[in-house]
Amino acid sequence: MFGNTHKIENNNSKRETVEKFFDMIYKLALSQTKDRDSADDVVQEVFLRFLKSDKVFESDEHIKAWLIRVTINCSHNVFSNSWAQKTTPLTEDIVFDTEEKGDVYYAVLELPQKYRAVIHLFYYEDMSIDEIAKTLRSNSSTVKSQLSRGRKMLREKLEGGYGLV
């Protein structure tokens, strides 16, 4: 009657789901908040909502899309929190294998949040434009233009701002 629809009921299944998507959600939260402590808070909130949820998921892809949407929403909440607006995150030096990876990472972090989200989902999570649009509840053409603008901003930052050609 419900096809592949299933409700994750037992703790083992929920634990497996958390383990499966943890890294992806943490990386997305970090790309959105630009701060490890805030990303930790976002991840905790996302998985707490997941564990408390009675939502029926159709597939792993449905769970993934739901977790991404909740992560982006919770990341937005970090910036609207009045306490967060009065604090300044500590800058942490992150070590990369190559200088280029570090330059790209920092350039992505300097993008406005809406561009960071689509860049992250497209390049790091290998999601298609249509999948991103569905997950972000946006129009495909909007995602396509945000991706294009984000790439252009990155190109300008990497060619000019970081001394790379």
Which of 19-23, 50-54, 106-110, 151-155 shows the lowest per-residue confidence on average (mean pLDDT)?
A: 106-110
Q: Tell me, what CATH number does 155's domain have? A: 1.10.10.10
* Number of structural domains found in the chain: 2
Which residues form the domain of 78? Answer: 1-88
Q: Does the pLDDT at position 76 exceed 80?
A: yes
Instruction: Describe the crossing of helices 36-52 and 60-80 by its angle, rounded to 10 degrees.
Output: 130
Residues 98 and 160 in one domain: yes
Q: Does the pLDDT at position 15 exceed 80?
A: yes
- What are the φ/ψ torsions at residue 57 (nearest 5 degrees)? -100, 140
Q: Does the pLDDT at position 107 exceed 70?
A: yes
pTM: 0.66
Q: Quote the pLDDT of residue 161.
A: 58
Mean pLDDT value across the chain:
80
Question: Given pLDDT bands bounded at 50, 70 and 90, which one contains residue 80?
Answer: low
Q: Quote the pLDDT of residue 151.
A: 92
Residues 32 and 103 in one domain: no
Is 75 exposed, middle or buried (CB count within 10 Å of its CB: 0-12, 13-18, 19+)?
buried
Higher pLDDT, 115 or 10: 115
DSSP code of residue 130: H
